[in-house]
A and B are shown apart, each in its own frame.
Chain A
Amino acid sequence: MLEIKNYSKSYAEGKKAADDVTLTVESGDIYGFIGHNGAGKSTTIRAVVGVLDFTEGEIYIDGHSVKDEPLECKKITAYIPDNPDLYENLTGIQYLNFVADVFDISAKDREERIKKYADTFEITDSLGDLISSYSHGMKQKVAIISALIHNPKLLVLDEPFVGLDPKATFTLKEIMHEMCKQGTAIFFSTHVLDVAEKLCNKVAIIKKGKIIASGTMEELTVGQSLEEAFLEVANEE
């Protein structure tokens, strides 16, 4: 579903934020992308979702090139940034309707899905309020609902659990499992290694822009926890 081939991102300073990144996320995978702060996780994720321009390498989503067919890619992808910048002066429901309009979701379907996810995240009562009045966690919940509203084939999340309360974190994990069973590919970055270990079937570790280890969870954590494996690999490099 997602194929990143030799992707590199250089800045005007000549420094490489991502260096020859190659990985593949299949349908039904929950793929964790872990690394230190500034390792290149967000840079890679932003390129995958078509926000960041890049010149080296190729990124394909369901066979479509992010460079050449960005619209085709975005139609089947959903992105949840680490710090969602939503339209603050819209109400929650206005924002969700905006996203539903963009994806051309029928009135019946959007009503059904918004209700389902808003109830699950216990935010239905607040949907009529301005987003500016929401807490960080509530904004994150609206961003998550907006990402799920069009049943994406690829879900890309950048630090999705930051700011969520324990119940919402649990709910999101449940939703991720459910989507994964339905064939959605999930690619997400996180610092929380415990979560990654329990949630993911595949992991890639990135350091200074380079993938230093990748594979199934079993391959990476032979007889040790993901935290131990991560520290071992990160210190080695």
Chain B
Amino acid sequence: MKSNIILLRTMLKSTSLVNIYRYTTDKKKKKKVVAGFIGIIILYAMLMGYSLSMCIGYGKLGIIDATPVMCAFIISAMSFLFTFFKTNGYLFNFKEYDMLMSLPFEARTVAGCKFAYMYIKSLGWYISISLAMLIGYGYYKRPSVLVYPVWIVMSLFIPVIPMLLASLVGFIIAKISAGFRKTNLIQTIFSFVFVIFCFSLRYIIDAVVKSDKVDDILKTVSVATDSAAQVYLPAAWFSGAVTKLVLSDMLQLVGFSILLFSCVFYVVGKSYRQINSALKSHVASKDYKMTAQKKHSVLNAIAFKEFKRMTGSTIYMTNGCMGEVLAVILGVVTLVVGFDKIVKVVTQGAPFDASIIQPAIPFVVYFMIGMVSTTAFTPSLEGKNYWIMQSLPLENKTIYQGKMLFNMYLTVPFMSFGILCLSISAKVPVVNTIFYLVLGVALCAFSTTWGCVCGVKHMRLDWENEVEVIKQGAAVAIYMFPNMFVVMGLVVLVVFLGMKIDHKLLTIIMTFIAAGLSSLCYLRVMALAKKRS
């Protein structure tokens, strides 16, 4: 236990903003730490605002009783996905593996502490949601005073089980991949398959139990959440613990979390060294034959370097390309199933003319493609290799242009594919489809340039683990949250305006807005490049 505490304390200290602020002599770094701290507080506040407004909606609709289960579900889903994407990089294949494993720690101690570290570092997000929902629940429900401390304490345990399950899945994928020659590639493919399976789970369940009157069950949110809680027991335990103060529910949530932790890390500890050895060892093939070489432009050379950086990292691939993979799947599924049927599934069969959604097609695809922009983290990803680009006879603006070019290469084909599939399936006229494609390119440009603004402005090179910049860097968060909220708003706005004005005109207006914003962001990137040189 003592070694666990020593290790966990050191891991936390080694990434603590307070430690950096206290000991750095670099004034710029101090300012960055403060700005990063303020940024995180703003993001927490945004998340709290979003959760609170959801609760207010429940209160107004008279379904406030569904809040605890919904709270448990949101936190569980978030923690599961976030952890799954972080297992490779935090739990396995991390930078300081050699240093830690050469010290007298058991493998399961290192793995367990890495998990505890992940848990503590992400707790702020989950507590923000939970506290905001508690405020909303408390306001409308006026529960007993005891509910408040019980809710807060039980909230600490909600993410544990999904995080452990995500770690276990990550472990199984890593264990299987470790036996293959192309370990990283296999791990990336398995990760994609698993996440796609998770995203489609709701529809699979829907299809499988259609005969069990799922449509009826889904008529109200409160009934739906209750029935879902019967499937996912931790949500039911949390709900029972905070609404009826049932002691057995509290004990079950806490006890099962501890039991699962022990079991998962007993299993993980057994193969920990073997998996990490496979992930960190690469043998040179030594059979290269010199062939004809090609000359590339500087921008293409930088873009190609970015491509190789991406394919060499499972974390990069799974985070950077998830939107593209989802866009392809959406496109293919829509072509096979039909646009109308997909709209019916999404709108739960509400009486709806699917054609009014047509102008939103580019935004729907962008919702996936624009989830992550590689430009938001590639400047930071240079890390210790920063010197390579800086020592070459290149201007900063050229480096950023190369990074932006790569993101365009990555996003535009998938964006176009998604739009084409949806447009064909929705029987959109050819001229409108062309306009949608142009808008799609403009949205990709916006995602690329806005990502680059965030990436350059909040560049962080002194990371310990690439997850820190790819998954949870300030630049990525600042890019992602406003982008997602704005897109959701735009989808609603476009559908609304589509009923009033011509679709082509609406798309042209949107294209001009996206192009204008992209130009502004591009100019900002160039200004930042000049400032940094």
Contacts and interface: CB of A to CB of B under 8 A. Distances in A.
Interface in A35-89: 38, 43, 46, 49-54, 70-71, 74-75, 77, 79, 81, 84-89
B20 A102 contact: no
Given A71-B106, A91-B23, A130-B24, A101 B15 contact: no
B226 to A, nearest CB: 46
B464 A50 contact: no
A32 B462 CA distance: 34
B462 A98 contact: no
B102 interface: yes
B103 A87 contact: no
Interface stretch (A11-19, A109-117, A191-199): A11-19
Given A11-B281, A15-B283, A129 B181 contact: no
B200 interface: no
B99 A102 contact: no
Contact of A13 (B14, B98, B181): B181
B96 interface: yes
> Could you tell me the dominant secondary structure of chain A's interface residues?
loop
B464 A89 contact: yes
A51 B16 contact: no
Contacts of B104: 71, 74-75, 102-103
Interface string A92-136: 001000110111000000000000000000000000111011000
A52 B107 CA distance: 12
Contacts of B96: 85-87
B41 to A, nearest CB: 20
Interface string A1-28: 0000000000111010100000000000
A90 interface: yes
Interface residues of A, number: 40
A93 B11 CA distance: 15
B25 interface: yes
A86 B99 contact: yes
B285 A89 contact: no
Contacts of A75: 104
Interface stretch (B229-237, B257-265, B271-279): B271-279
Nearest to B14: A87
B95 interface: yes
B283 A13 contact: yes
Given A87-B14, A98-B6, A102-B105, A17 B462 contact: no
B23 A129 contact: yes
Interface in B22-68: 23-26
Interface in B276-314: 276-278, 281-286
Given A99-B103, A102-B103, A90 B19 contact: yes
Given A11-B281, A129-B23, A87 B102 contact: no
> Which 4 A-B residue pairings sit nearest by Cβ, starting from the closest?
A87-B14, A53-B277, A74-B104, A79-B102
Interface of B: 3, 6-7, 10-11, 13-16, 19-20, 23-26, 95-99, 101-107, 178-181, 183, 273-274, 276-278, 281-286, 462, 464
Given A71-B104, A88-B14, A129-B23, 14 more contacts: A12-B183, A49-B101, A51-B102, A74-B105, A81-B98, A81-B99, A89-B15, A89-B19, A90-B19, A91-B23, A99-B103, A103-B104, A133-B24, A133-B26
Interface of A: 11-13, 15, 17, 38, 43, 46, 49-54, 70-71, 74-75, 77, 79, 81, 84-91, 94, 98-99, 101-103, 128-130, 132-133
26 contacts: A11-B282, A12-B179, A15-B283, A38-B284, A49-B101, A51-B98, A51-B101, A70-B107, A71-B105, A74-B105, A77-B102, A79-B98, A81-B102, A84-B99, A85-B96, A85-B99, A86-B99, A87-B11, A87-B13, A87-B14, A89-B20, A91-B19, A98-B6, A102-B104, A102-B105, A129-B23
